[in-house]
């Protein structure tokens, strides 16, 4: 288990993390974590490791790309002084290339995605115990699909950065591929991006496995 007593674990990303979390800071009473995988992971950690007293903070914002994370990284991550930072970003960086093809200014090419993401890692690592990088995904089992193939490129970038900097990597795309051997992707997300509660719990379980949370 990576986390230690009284650690603060901060999650940051896009709408997949957001899911109506409290603003400006997603922690505290009255479902402040929202109802994303962050809420699932936070609740499970609290039940599985009550003696650790972990502080879980959700700083996801819907629609964000890696550019948006860069713009708010100081206030939403560094100023909060977390012990661990978990990042799930890249879905909108790819999605805009397909749902808004006539608006290239909204597209984040692979080179910019990698460069910006790595700068965030280098800024953060001297001040935290570690980072967990989660692969962006598209719930399309057909790897020849154009958006799925493009998303795989960005997932590979996140994997490369995790390996380069010795960080924990969560391969969400491979997780979905395994699940969809038994059900259609629309059973989890009508738009193949935003999971229902089963899907949110599935992401949380992959996160918990990656950080070594092994209690019932």
Q: Would you call 17 a catalytic residue per the annotation? A: no
Q: Would you call 185 a catalytic residue per the annotation? A: no
Tell me how far apart the alpha carbons of residues 116 and 183 are, in angstroms, rounded to a whole number: 36
Q: How far is CA 195 from the centre of its chain?
A: 13
Tell me how far apart the alpha carbons of residues 73 and 124 are, in angstroms, rounded to a whole number: 9
Tell me how far apart the alpha carbons of residues 1 and 66 are, in angstroms, rounded to a whole number: 28
Token pair belonging to 48: 């599985």
Task: Find the Cα–Cα–Cα–Cα dihedral 197, 198, 200, 203, rounded to 10°.
Answer: 170
| Catalytic choice (7, 14, 15, 99) | 15
Q: Would you call 191 a catalytic residue per the annotation? A: yes
The length of the chain in residues reads: 216
In this structure, what DSSP letter does residue 104 have?
Answer: G
Shortest CA distance to 153 belongs to which of 194, 111, 102?
111
| Catalytic choice (79, 184, 194, 214) | 194
Tell me how far apart the alpha carbons of residues 120 and 90 are, in angstroms, rounded to a whole number: 14
* Contact between 57 and 41 (Cβ < 8 Å): no
- Packing angle of the helix pair 66-76, 110-124 (nearest 10 deg): 10
Element (H, E) at 170: strand 168-170
- List active site positions: 15, 191, 194
């Amino acid at each position: 288990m990576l986390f230690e007593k009284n650690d603060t674990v901060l999650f940051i990303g896009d709408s997949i993390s957001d899911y109506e979390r409290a603003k400006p800071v997603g922690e505290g009473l009255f479902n402040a974590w929202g109802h994303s995988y962050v809420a699932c992971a936070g609740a499970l950690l609290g039940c599985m490791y009550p003696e650790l007293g972990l502080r879980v903070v959700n700083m996801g914002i819907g629609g964000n790309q890696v550019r948006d994370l860069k713009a708010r990284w100081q206030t939403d991550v560094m100023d909060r002084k977390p012990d661990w930072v978990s990042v799930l970003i890249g879905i909108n960086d790819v999605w805009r290339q397909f749902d808004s093809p006539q608006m290239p200014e909204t597209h984040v090419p692979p080179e910019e995605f990698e460069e910006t993401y790595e700068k965030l890692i280098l800024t953060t690592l001297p001040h935290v115990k570690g980072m967990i990088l989660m692969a962006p995904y598209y719930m399309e089992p057909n790897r020849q699909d154009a958006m799925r193939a493009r998303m795989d490129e960005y997932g590979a970038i996140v994997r490369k950065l995790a390996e380069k900097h010795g960080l924990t990597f969560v391969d969400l795309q491979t997780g979905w591929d395994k699940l969809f051997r038994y059900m259609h992707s629309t059973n989890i997300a009508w738009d193949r991006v935003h999971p229902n509660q089963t899907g949110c719990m599935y992401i949380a379980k992959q996160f918990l496995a990656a950080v070594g949370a092994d209690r019932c």
